[in-house]
Every structure is written in C-alpha cells, then in structure tokens.
A and B are shown apart, each in its own frame.
Chain A
Amino acid sequence: MKRLFTSFALMIAASVATAEDVTTYMLDNGMEVVVIEDARAPVVVHMLWYKVGSADEPVGASGVAHFLEHLLFKATDVLESGEFSATVAANGGSDNAFTSYDYTAYFQRIASDRLELMMQMESNRMNNLRITAADVETERQVVLEERNQRTENSAGALAREQFRAAQFQNHRYGVPIIGWKHEMEQLDLTDALDFYDLYYSPNNAVLVVAGDVKPDEVLALAEKYYGVIPAEANLPVRERPQEPPQRAERRITYVDQRVSQPYLVRSYLAPERDPGAQTEAAALVFLADLLGGSSFTSALGQALQFDTQTAIFTSASYDGSNLDSGTFSLVVAPSEGISLSVAEAAMDETVAAFMDAPIDPERMESIRTQLRASEIYAKDNVQGLARRYGAALTQSLTIADVQAWPDILQAVTEDDIKAVAAKVFNRDQSVTGWVVASQEEAR
C-alpha cells in the first residue's frame, strides 16, 4: 500500500512506442513536425512545444516563461481574450498548457476533424499576441495564487525548492519553474513580450500531432498554417550556464511546523539522456528500480521496510529527461521512534552493500520485462506518447534517440549499472535534506 509521498513518484525517463506509427517532417522554416497515428478513437491531440523553459529565463525574471504561458490565452490580433479556449470548448475539446525547465507546451484534445481550426488558432498566437497592462496585473495575481497553492501552502514543496537551489550552484535548474515569489511580483509586460518575441518562433518549435490522423494531411495543414511564419533570425544558441565542479556536499534542515512525518532526501547530480549517448541514463533507470523502485523488492525497501522496521517509506528515482544535468534521488521516511540520522546511516549502508554485492539476475530480468511491457501499455495513451516525443525533441534528443531508447534499456548490463552508480554516488555532488516540524526532530 502506498499512501505516502506521491509527489516523489518516480521520474524515470520514459520509454516509447515502436517506430512504425510515427512520421516526421521538417518545414522549410525549421519547424519540426511529428505525427503519431492511432485510429482507435476519432480524437486528435495537437501539441505545440517551444524549446524554451524556465532555465532559459533572464536573471532576475524567474517565472516569466510560465507567466507568458498564462498570457498566451489572452487576446491576439484576431482572437479576443479567452476566445481561444472558448472556441476549443465550443467544439467539444479541451485545452491547456504546461511549462518546465526546458520547454513550454500548448495542447488541445478534440475531435480529429477539428485539427485545422486548432492549427489556425495556435499558429496565430505564435506571433500575434495583444497583451494589455490590465491582463498582466490580474494574471500576475493568478500565478502568485498558483504559487501559493503549489508551493507556499506545502511544506514538502518549499523543502524541495530549497534542496534544488542547493543542488545546482550555477545552472538555472536551481530556480523554481514558477519563479521566486519576489521576482514574480515584479514581472511586467516588457519581461513577457521580450521573452515571447525572441523565443516563440517556428525554428524554435516542435509540432506533435497524435491520434486519428493521416501524416500527409497533417503535413499539408502544417505547411499552410505554420510553414508561412518566418523563422526568427536572432534565435540565440541554447547554451545555459553549466555547473562548476562541485567540491563539497551540502546538508540542509528544513523546519516547518506543517510537517507531520519527518523524512530525508539525498540527491546527486547525474548524467542525462544525451543524443547518441543514452547508455548511462538507461543504466540509471535500472539503478533507481533496483535501489528503490518497489518497497517490496528493491534494496532499500527490503532492508529498511522488511528486514528491519527502520522506515515506513523508501524510494529511489532518476530524473534523466533534461537538456542539461539530471538528478538521482533517494528518499527515506523513518518509522516512529527512529531518528533521521539512524535512517540516513541505514540508507547509506544499504547502498554500500548494494555496490559490493552482485545483482540478482532475476531482478534484472524482471525489470527488463516490465520495461518491455511499459511499451505495450504506453500505446493505450496516445497523449502520453505525444508528450514523450515533444519532451525529448525539446531536450536535444532526436527521433532516432527516442526510438533507440527501448533497445538501449534492454541492453543494460550489471557492469553498466555499477559503473554509473560509482560515478553518481559522489557526496561532493550531493545534497542531503532533512524535513522536520521542529529542530528537536532534527537528530
């Protein structure tokens, strides 16, 4: 039974569908188009991904990528404020958007014969926003309330923000996607429009269309609506500040009276999936599963939850879907009466024992089977497939990388896992965070 810490759900790099249902094009203006066919229902998901996220923001304007995402639902030269979503709804569809460190994406899910209307509207708001000062005022309040809801009202979210800021000493991955509150309060029309004018262009976008569609028809529509938009000549090369060598471990105690269950998090810098070089990332997927994937069968679960009653919750997770560096994290929530220092020592002993012992071949086979099955289950969710391609292509991977990933996972060996683990488990590149209700609990 898993009741705890759902926010720590595994962020294992996703596996993907087989290649046969995916078609790709490149428009003359540099926009990539990906079509995923699934004719089981008369539905299409139309997603436009921009290769820009919070980690591309100017210093001092944290939150502007996400703020701009909100403002894209306001007026354009031909659409009134709110008319975009209202039109989608009036056609029986739904729409939304999301922002991450590396991308900003807009999507609609609608009957497949309405695809052209979606392209018409989405292409329109790539270049033709007409935001007003009043829009900025109210929408800034909305994103501040969003921050209140997601972060300020959650001790766990505030703790994560502190830990991540310590994990990244130079990269913008250390700044929250939604923004630091004091900078969000200062975001203005110019911040939003500067960001929009520079980054929202076809040569910085990936179109993913998934569902009951024909690739040649999608291409024709994409040419008609997106193909006519000129490329942005001044689009900057995407090079963000990188991490310096990290030379000392960081330890943080986050105290918040709203914490009911003390827990600890250890995170390490870890390699991400890179174009043509995904073997280490694949090995880290296995490492996370072996150490903390299931409380019943993983090393941490067995040692801390079964062999001893040291913890009521354990997990290991790997976030390797990033343009730049990823992270590998361990979480332990100690049992009643067990201190965080005892729980942390038990965690470290378990990891050390894992490194010294051979890996059970049956566990390896079980993980390979589950990864193979996840390919099959993934086909039931065409929107999920669309997200995988969109995320990968905005994080520098290619279609070939995405399609090679399942086989790379299947080929991971014990040696691969031990080698990458030895590299990642470097305390100089780690943050250890304790989350407690009071200083007295921090022992």
Chain B
Amino acid sequence: MLRIVIAFCLSFTASAALAEIEIKQVTSPGGINAWVVEEPAIPFVALEIRFRGSASLDLPGKRGATNLMTGLLEEGAGDMTAQEFQTAREGLAASFSFRAFDDTLSISARFLTENKAEALDLLRQALVDPNFDQDALDRVRAQVLSGLASDEKDPNTIAGNVFNAAAFGDHPYGSSSDGTVESVTALTQEDMFDAHRNALTRDRLYVSVVGDTTAEAVGEMLDDLLGALPAEGPAAPEDVDFGLAGGVTVIDYDTPQAVALFGHKGLKRDDDDFFAAFIINHVLGAGGFESRLMTEVREKRGLTYGISTFLVPKFHAEMMLGSVASSNATIAEAIAVTRAEWARMADDGLSAEELAVAKTFLTGEYPLRFDGNAEIAKIMVGMQMVGLPPEYVVNRNHYVEAVTLEEINRVASELLQPDDLHFVVVGKPEGLTSTQ
C-alpha cells in the first residue's frame, strides 16, 4: 500500500513575497522512499536519484569500473542498442544524465508531462536492464582513456590527483574514480555487470521529484522504476584520516600560470560546530568578491582572477580545501598571503560586524536557491543523503543565526591550522620548492 507519510509545508518570508514549497514524503508499496514537491505550473517533471557508494565501491583491481559502467547506462538497454535508446529518448525530448562521483552515483532526469510514462519506461530500462554491449563498452572506454590522457596534461587535475594520493593513499579517495589507463583497459563486460549490481542498490537509494505530478503518482511509479534493483550492496569502505602534513609539493609543468590546491583536515557535516565552520569558510574564502582571500589576493594585490575555499565533508573523510591560480612569478606571493589570512582568521576570528554581515547574506541567499524544479529536486535529494529532515529547510536559517561570535572564534582557532596547510603547486613557480 502506498503511504504518503508527512506533508511538510514551509514558507519563506525573506521578502515581501512569500515562497511556499510543500515537501511530501512518500513510500511506495515496495518500500522505496521519495520526497515530492507538486508544482504544476510548468508541464514537466524533474527527477533526481542518488546512490551512495559509487566509485568507492570499485572492486580491487577494477578502479574506474563504476565510472565506466555509469557512462554506459545511456548506451543501450532492454532490447535497444545505444542508437535505438537515444533515438527514443530524443523523440520524447527527455533528458537523462548519469554521473559517478567518489561517493555518489547521480542520475538527473527531466521529462514532459505529456509523455512521462514513456520517458520513465526508458529510464527504467537504463537503470535496471542495461546491456553493456561490447561495442558500446569499447567505444566509451576509448572516450575515458582519452579523458585520462587529457587529465595528465591538465594542471588542475594533476594537482588534485597528487593531493588526493598524498592525503589518502590506498583508500579509494586516494585515486581518481576514472581509474588508470591500465585498470580501464582491462575492464570487461562482466566487470560492468558487477559494478552495476554493486552500485545501484535499494539500500543506498535516495529519490526526489519536483514538477507536474503528484506524490501519489510518484509513489505508484517508484516500484516500477527502481523495484527490480538488488536490495543490498557490498560494504562501504572504512573511514580514512587525512594523511597529508603541512608543506609544499611542486609539480614541474610547463605552463604560464601556476595552479595551487591546498588544504588540511576539516570537520564532519553532522559536527556540532558545522555551522560555525560554514560561516568561517564563507568569510575566509567562499563568499565570492566579499571574502577575505578575494579582497587580499585579488582586489588589493591583483595576484589572481579567483581564489576560493571549500568545506569538503565527504562520507569517509573531511577536508577544508582551497584553490588559487597565479602567474609563475607571483604564485609564491599569493600563497604567502593565503597563509597569512589563514593565520589571521585562526588567531583573531571574526569581528561582530563581519559575523552580522555574513549571517545576513547567508540567510538572505538561502531561499533564493529554491527557484526552479530541478534546483529544488537537487536540494532535496542532497538533504536526504546527509540525513537531514524536510523541516531543515525551515530551521536552517535559525541554525545560522544561532551561531555566536564566541563559537566562531573558538572553531576558527581549532579548524584553521596554517602550519598544517599543504599546497600542491603545478607549474614553474618562482621562489617555491617542495618541502620534505
């Protein structure tokens, strides 16, 4: 029997106008949950599906299998070849996107009200009955191998790969989820079926739907769409410590502008101090033109076009990262200024005025995110993955408001450790050498 458990209504009053979205939680007869917002204004539906695990479930020696498998989901299913499948999808004007990330396999779909049954049937076949034909496997493998070759010559990707390998070693986070030339070349059809069976399982499934449909209709559709997937998958990898000490690693690469990726350990999404850290990160480097690092590195000194920082709470490790690019002649100065700002924030924290301005921005900006079916669907599925309840969208601004200056300054001194920052620099940076 179909259950629509909670109808949760929230409204924003950030403005003279009032935004309302009503999140309904529905459970299918087969036990699949989804969050639904009924929005009939435009005759289409946005559907977001996530599977937790993804590339971190690659089997030993099969690095890149989940990524290649995910790329093949649009390459033929049921009795359809890749071309037949795509011809059918184009004829319906539906769009499907399949992406494998470190921890998350992501499927985004949108389709018209007028042919949603046909579109969902196509998507169902891609998800539960993909073919993994050998010719498609070989064709997409060639694309992945070409991408890996490009990665070897892309300064940003080089920096990311070096940083992750040094921080996480043999853990899946330590290597590219695309795999290596060697591992991808060796992948077989059987590996694709194994990766599919392991990564698309109902125990790690999250679904959200926004658009011209009803919670009841979604509840009835879920079992058809996803019910044939296996109930359970293999164990997730263990948590891993961030294993990179402070310092500098220079990767020599002949390009005019050096790129730097830097960071140290961070904190978990469910940490009590998360919102304090979120505000600190915003003021330090995530707040666009207004951040301290943009002010110091770009506006005052003209050393870069952009610098930013990120809190990265992954499922098995936590980081605080940043990136900056500057000419080979000036990257050393950009890094020195960055370290100094890191230390200033750790030592002095924020002023009361800075905190007030940050809160105004963060609470004012939040409701503006809910401005399209696809956007709302993405927000809702993301909330489910980190265990947030629907009412979080109402309470979230209160969590931001509740953070005190004392908390901010304590968390800044704990989180930000300038001596622990490790910079991986790709280019021909002047005045920088690798530390031991």
Q: Which of A256-303 contact B (CB under 8 A)?
A: 257-261, 294, 296-297, 302
User: In the docked arrangement, what's the CA distance between A349 and B155, Å?
Assistant: 37
> For the complex, what is the distance from the CA of A370 to the CA of B92, rounded to whole Å?
8
Say whether B71 faces chain A, with CB atoms less than 8 Å apart: yes
* Proximity string of chain A (293-319) to chain B, C-beta cutoff 8 Å, 1 when within and 0 when not: 010110000100110010011000000
Interchain CB contact under 8 A, B153 and A296: no
A376 and B371 contacting across the interface, CB-CB below 8 Å: no
Instruction: List, sorted by A's number, 30 A–B pairs whose CB atoms are closer than 8 Å.
Output: A1-B98, A3-B143, A4-B143, A4-B146, A42-B17, A42-B367, A90-B361, A92-B360, A93-B364, A111-B17, A111-B368, A112-B15, A137-B302, A139-B302, A141-B301, A141-B303, A142-B298, A146-B305, A148-B257, A149-B257, A152-B256, A261-B150, A297-B86, A302-B83, A312-B143, A335-B142, A366-B90, A370-B90, A370-B93, A380-B373
Whether A40 pairs with B43 at a CB distance below 8 angstroms is no
Q: Which residue of the partner chain B has the closest CB to A42?
A: B17
**Footprint of A on B, CB under 8 Å?**
12, 14-19, 39, 41-44, 46, 71-72, 74-75, 82-83, 85-87, 90-93, 98, 110, 112, 139-140, 142-147, 149-150, 152-153, 155, 254-257, 259, 287-290, 295, 298-306, 325-327, 357, 360-368, 370-374
Cα distance, A85 to B290, chains bound together (Å): 8
| Contact among A258, A305, A376 with B153 in the assembled complex (CB-CB below 8 Å) | A258
**CB-CB contacts of A58-82 with B at 8 A, as 1s and 0s?**
0000000000000001000000001
Cα–Cα distance between A379 and B71 once the two chains are bound (Å)? 29
Contact B302 A153 (CB under 8 A): no
**Quick check: A145 and B304 within 8 Å, CB to CB?**
yes
Is the C-beta of A9 less than 8 angstroms from some C-beta in chain B?
no
- Known contacts being A4-B143, A152-B257, is A113 close to B15, with CB within 8 Å? yes
Chain A contacts for B92, CB-based, 8 A: 369
Chain B residues, Cβ within 8 Å of A137: 302
In the complex, the answer to whether A91 meets B289 with C-beta atoms within 8 Å is no
Cβ of B368 and Cβ of A82 under 8 Å apart? no
Q: How far is the CA of A297 from the CA of B364 in the complex (A)?
A: 45
- Assembled-state Cα–Cα distance A113/B82 (Å): 49
> A373 on the interface (CB 8 Å rule)?
yes
Is A379 within 8 A of B288, CB to CB?
no
Is there an interface contact between A92 and B303, defined as CB atoms closer than 8 Å? no
Query: Which residues of the partner chain A approach B257 to less than 8 Å between Cβ atoms?
Result: 145, 148-149, 152-153
Question: What per-residue 1/0 map shows which CB atoms of A3-45 lie under 8 Å from chain B?
Answer: 1100000000000000000000000000000000001111100
Question: In the complex, are the beta carbons of A1 and B140 less than 8 A apart?
Answer: yes
Cβ < 8 Å to B, chain A residues 143-163: 143-146, 148-149, 152-153, 155
Tell me if A109 is interfacial: C-beta within 8 Å of chain B. yes
Contact mask for chain A residues 83-104; partner B; CB cutoff 8 A; 1 contact, 0 none: 0011001111110000000000
Residues of B close to A39: CB separation below 8 A: 17
Q: Are B142 and A82 in contact (CB under 8 A)?
A: no
Contact of A260 among B16, B140, B146 (CB under 8 A): B146
Q: Which residues of B contact A365 (CB under 8 A)?
A: 91
- Which of B93, B146, B365 is close to A92, meaning CB atoms less than 8 Å apart? B365
Complex alpha-carbon distance, A52 and B92, angstroms: 40
Question: Contacts A258-B255, A369-B91, A370-B93 hold; do A142 and B305 have CB atoms under 8 A apart?
Answer: yes
B364 close to A92 (CB less than 8 A): yes
Query: A382 contacts the other chain (Cβ, under 8 Å)?
Result: yes
Contact A138-B301, Cβ < 8 Å, known A91-B360, A376-B44: yes
Whether A91 contacts B364 in the complex (CB less than 8 A), given A43-B371, A145-B302, A373-B112, comes out as yes
